[in-house]
Chains A and B, each alone.
Chain A
Amino acid sequence: MAQLTYRDAVARAITQEMEHDPNVVFLGEDVGGAGGVFKATVGLLERFGPERVRDTPISEQAILGAAMGAAMTGLRPIAEIMFADFFAVCWDLVANQIAKSSYMTAGQVSFPLVIRSGNGGGLRFGAQHSQSVENWAMAVPGLKVVAPSNPTDVIGLFAAAVRDPDPVMFFEHKGLYSSKGEVRDGEIVDRLGSAKVLRTGGDATIVALAAMVPRAVAAAETLAERGIEAGVIDVRSLVPLDTQTILREVSATGRLFTVEENPRLCGWGAELVSIVAEECFNYLDGPPLRITTPHIPLPSADALEDMAIPSIERIVTTIERAMQS
């Protein structure tokens, strides 16, 4: 066991997978010599050499195209897109090429690759460096979508992603890089498509993702002090989606609250609410409720950004009010 930051967990995860399989290669901007802009890939170049850890020019399309072409010819590339916002300049490769080519070719090719990216806000970076874009990826058939909330999951889910035969969009949360957690020694390999129940509670179920998970847990603790027992589920993987765990918990409590960092429209929580409405409507004691960032670009000033992204306070008061009414 060791205390590890989320950032160091990324480097440990990549190291674990590069040691596990010589066909795993890693490319991106500033990932090698500089150790990554978030310092999440420090030491990899020294350890694995420039053949396997490749610094690229600022060419997001070329980065993802190279990853795709390498994956279809026998390698297992890990590509970094520095900020998830930058997917906007290379979305063709993600949405048109990588996601669709297995289907279009009737399975002649597959794409065992991982695209990891710094996602999410809270760092006062403004509208073009703070977005939570996991729902962009979730909307495209053919992509698996993962977003870990803690160092152990970073390693376990990353390993599962690298070993998966399909393309996985791996959203690391920028606001979590400096967070710490206990991580056990040795190899860690988890499973995609498995949500985790972090806390059980008979009154309500809070479902959260990535940086919203610790906030949901803190909110549940406060709610417990005020007499509301809320369970918390970390979704972890949006595609594949572990609906069974969520439906089971929501059926037991009768109330669903999602906590989403994405802007309001078409967030993952909307899909979840529709599944719950269709499949366990009769178990509900009240309307499912989504707690999200408003449908606005993220502002830069700390005062404003803090108002926009769901806070512990907002989660507590929203749930408290809903449960009282």
Chain B
Amino acid sequence: MTSTLDEPAAPAGPPGIDPATLHRPEGSVDVPIQIALYRQMVRMRKFETRAYDLFMENLVKGTSHLSLGQEAIAAAFGEAMEEGDYTFATYRGHAHTLARGTSMTGVMGELLGRSCGVLSGKGGSMHLTDVQRGVMGSYAIVGAHLTIALGAAWSAQYKGERRVAVAFFGDGTTNIGAFHESLNLAAVWKLPVVFVCENNMYMEYTPISAVTAVANPAADRASAYGLDSILVDGNDADAMYLTARDALDRARNGGGPSLIEARTYRSSGHSRADPGKYRPDAEVAAWKAYDPIVLYRSRLVARGVSEADLDAIEEMADGDVETATVNAKASPAPGADVLMRDVWADGGSSWRN
């Protein structure tokens, strides 16, 4: 997943998108935050690259959905969210979970179905959850978690807590009823919730444009719920961070929900070992040249951050991924003791006397 030397020069904006339509948030991002954003993205990238290798080795079983190429969005929210805020992710949620500080060993262990997994192997890659860090779950039925995020936001509002719920989802999700139910109710109840559509241009294999009545599947629907239409460059970590911060501030201060459409691209397939052959080569190449991490690294260097510092971040992430891999491989498979646990809040599963 490293960049090659003969890549075309990075385009000025996301490929195929009229730059005039993009939201340009005000303000700038301080260098320490930029470094944190870079660290987040690098960790996500290296973690998922390893997860893919382990899938190919049949150590990650079942399925796995990578967000390679989409890291700027999860990273930006990870940095912009406050402790106590709620994350609701999808089956493509490794990055969003790591973004809140969940241990790599816990996530890797879950992917490998080992005892050290954050869910003791009972959830798997599609259901990563770490309530202590505000990761309220990863959901594998398209659209469901948008409605669940409503409830977390509602409880924050009811209790007068200054927490915000953030729900991440894909472009394909804008065509299911739960999306529309959620936006309407969030708007009517003025809930502190941020809906983040990661538009990677594809559902599983079908291009979103082939099945959607509007060009921008989330942003063009915002007005139906009285919300601003926000289309942002999802591969620009700074633009994402500022957009996230604005939406979080607004929600935290009683301003109600936001809907953000972040344009991005997944550089890998939909899931498992999908090679993504349904996508035109030129499109793949154009987006590859617009990689969020490569772009960000040159921006940081241009801003005076030393290559050595950035290399150190990469090495640290390599080490963390290696440690997580070693830990997960060494961790035993979960035992029969966990099989029958946790159906009920008392830890049991009994349904009769």
**Contact yes or no, A165 B345, CB < 8 A:** yes
A141 to B349, CA, bound (A): 9
**Contact yes or no, B151 A241, CB < 8 A:** no
A112 to B181, CA, bound (A): 23
CB < 8 Å neighbour of B149 from A69, A96, A240 = A69
A242, CB-defined interface residue at 8 Å? yes
Whole-angstrom distance between the Cβ of B254 and the nearest chain A Cβ: 14
A307, CB-defined interface residue at 8 Å? no
A72 to B227, CA, bound (A): 27
Near A by CB (< 8 A), chain B positions 111-151 give 118-120, 122-123, 127, 129-131, 136-137, 139, 141, 143-151
B346, CB-defined interface residue at 8 Å? yes
B299, CB-defined interface residue at 8 Å? no
**Contact yes or no, A64 B147, CB < 8 A:** yes
Whole-angstrom distance between the Cβ of B301 and the nearest chain A Cβ: 41
B159, CB-defined interface residue at 8 Å? yes
Whole-angstrom distance between the Cβ of A57 and the nearest chain B Cβ: 6
> A73-B86, A105-B123 known; A66 and B147 CB under 8 Å?
yes
- CB contacts between A and B, total, < 8 Å: 167
> A104-B122, A108-B131 known; A25 and B158 CB under 8 Å?
yes
B341, CB-defined interface residue at 8 Å? yes
CB < 8 Å neighbour of B151 from A72, A102, A141 = A72
Which A residues lie within 8 Å of B150 (CB)? Answer: 62, 65-66, 69
Closest residue of A by beta carbon distance from B157: A51
Which A residues lie within 8 Å of B137 (CB)? Answer: 101, 105, 109
Which A residues lie within 8 Å of B156 (CB)? Answer: 73
Whole-angstrom distance between the Cβ of B152 and the nearest chain A Cβ: 4
Closest residue of A by beta carbon distance from B128: A105
A239, CB-defined interface residue at 8 Å? yes
A186, CB-defined interface residue at 8 Å? no
Instruction: Say which size band chain A's interface belongs to.
Output: 35 or more
**Contact yes or no, A61 B350, CB < 8 A:** no
B343, CB-defined interface residue at 8 Å? yes
A51 to B190, CA, bound (A): 13
Most chain A CB within a 10 A radius of its CB, from B177, B184, B338, B352: B352
**Contact yes or no, A61 B177, CB < 8 A:** yes
Instruction: Say which size band chain B's interface belongs to.
Output: 35 or more
A275 to B58, CA, bound (A): 42
A222, CB-defined interface residue at 8 Å? no
A244, CB-defined interface residue at 8 Å? yes
B347, CB-defined interface residue at 8 Å? yes
**Contact yes or no, A104 B148, CB < 8 A:** no
CB < 8 Å neighbour of A66 from B141, B154, B177 = B154
Whole-angstrom distance between the Cβ of B94 and the nearest chain A Cβ: 16
Closest residue of B by beta carbon distance from A105: B129
Which A residues lie within 8 Å of B351 (CB)? Answer: 141, 239-241
A227, CB-defined interface residue at 8 Å? no
A71, CB-defined interface residue at 8 Å? yes
Closest residue of B by beta carbon distance from A77: B151
**Contact yes or no, B147 A102, CB < 8 A:** no
Which B residues lie within 8 Å of A104 (CB)? Answer: 119, 122-123, 127, 129
**Contact yes or no, A96 B141, CB < 8 A:** yes
Whole-angstrom distance between the Cβ of B172 and the nearest chain A Cβ: 16
A253 to B122, CA, bound (A): 44
CB < 8 Å neighbour of B120 from A51, A67, A106, A244 = A106
B182, CB-defined interface residue at 8 Å? yes
**Contact yes or no, A97 B344, CB < 8 A:** no
**Contact yes or no, A103 B151, CB < 8 A:** no
Whole-angstrom distance between the Cβ of B37 and the nearest chain A Cβ: 28
Which B residues lie within 8 Å of A75 (CB)? Answer: 151, 154-155, 158-159
A43, CB-defined interface residue at 8 Å? no
**Contact yes or no, B155 A68, CB < 8 A:** no
Which A residues lie within 8 Å of B177 (CB)? Answer: 61
A65 to B189, CA, bound (A): 14
**Contact yes or no, A57 B185, CB < 8 A:** yes
A142, CB-defined interface residue at 8 Å? yes
**Contact yes or no, A96 B151, CB < 8 A:** no
A214 to B178, CA, bound (A): 40
> A69-B165, A70-B151, A70-B152 known; A244 and B353 CB under 8 Å?
yes
Whole-angstrom distance between the Cβ of A141 and the nearest chain B Cβ: 6
A102 to B131, CA, bound (A): 12
A75 to B148, CA, bound (A): 13
Closest residue of B by beta carbon distance from A142: B343
Which A residues lie within 8 Å of B153 (CB)? Answer: 69
**Contact yes or no, A73 B178, CB < 8 A:** no
**Contact yes or no, B185 A56, CB < 8 A:** yes
Most chain B CB within a 10 A radius of its CB, from A61, A74, A75, A241: A61
A243 to B37, CA, bound (A): 57
**Contact yes or no, A65 B147, CB < 8 A:** yes
The 5 A-B pairs at the shortest CB distance, nearest first, are namely A69-B151, A65-B147, A165-B345, A110-B345, A59-B181
A-B contact pairs, 28 of them (CB 8 A): A25-B158, A57-B185, A59-B184, A61-B177, A65-B145, A65-B178, A65-B181, A68-B151, A69-B148, A69-B149, A70-B154, A96-B144, A97-B139, A104-B122, A105-B129, A105-B342, A106-B341, A107-B342, A109-B137, A110-B344, A110-B345, A112-B345, A141-B349, A141-B351, A193-B352, A193-B353, A240-B352, A275-B352
A residues within 8 Å of B by Cβ? 25, 51, 54, 56-57, 59, 61-62, 64-75, 77, 92-93, 96-97, 101-112, 141-142, 165-166, 193, 239-244, 275
